[in-house]
Amino acid sequence: MTPATTITKKVTLGAIVRRLRAARLLLPQDLADLAGVPVDHVDLLERDFPLPLDSKRKILRELWAIKTGK
């Protein structure tokens, strides 16, 4: 008898950001413009690369504002 194999998928912050952005029909450039950050920072965040904390905060705050309608 073989042990049961479970497949777990690691959910990252970048994947969540990408999913939220796409669900709101925003291009990376649109989100960058709304957040006031370079589009490269949106790309880095979605690919889970390091970026300045202030940029990360601005992007996440903008996504949250869109989600909550604030």
Q: Residue 68 has what pLDDT? A: 67
Classify residue 7: in a domain, yes or no.
Answer: no
Output the pLDDT for position 5. Answer: 72
pLDDT at 9: 79
pTM of the model: 0.80
Containing structural domain, residue 64: 13-68
The DSSP symbol for 31 reads H
CB–CB of 46/17 below 8 Å?
A: yes
Q: What is the pLDDT of residues 8-49, one digit of tens each?
A: 778 999 999 999 999 999 999 999 999 999 999 999 999 999
- Inside any domain, residue 4: no
Under 8 Å between Cβ of 18 and 11 = no
Residue 6 included in any domain: no
CATH number of the domain where residue 19 is located: 1.10.260.40
